[in-house]
Amino acid sequence: MLITAIPPIALTVGANRIVRGVAIPHPVGDPKEEPAVELEIRKKLLEKALQALCEPIKEQTLFE
């Protein structure tokens, strides 16, 4: 499972579960946000990533 802001590259290298991140320099957060807002962004991405790990798949899958 990979969290990335560039899903096409993840697909090219063969990652099987891909979660779209926030931005290239900060895929799992946004330092411009207030700490409480950034924590919520991170929590949501983590929840999405855990859900992606639990999802049965047969081919590469992008979780938006």
Q: CA 29, CA 14: separation in Å to the nearest integer?
A: 24
pLDDT at res. 39? 95
62: β partners: 18
The pTM score is 0.85
pLDDT at res. 34? 96
Q: What is the mean pLDDT of each run of 10 residues along the chain (64 residues)?
A: 94 96 93 94 96 96 94
Q: Alpha helix locations (H) across the chain?
A: 7-13, 35-54
pLDDT at res. 16? 95
- Full domain range(s) for residue 16: 2-63
pLDDT at res. 37? 95
What's the structural domain count of the chain?
Answer: 1
pLDDT at res. 35? 95
pLDDT at res. 55? 95
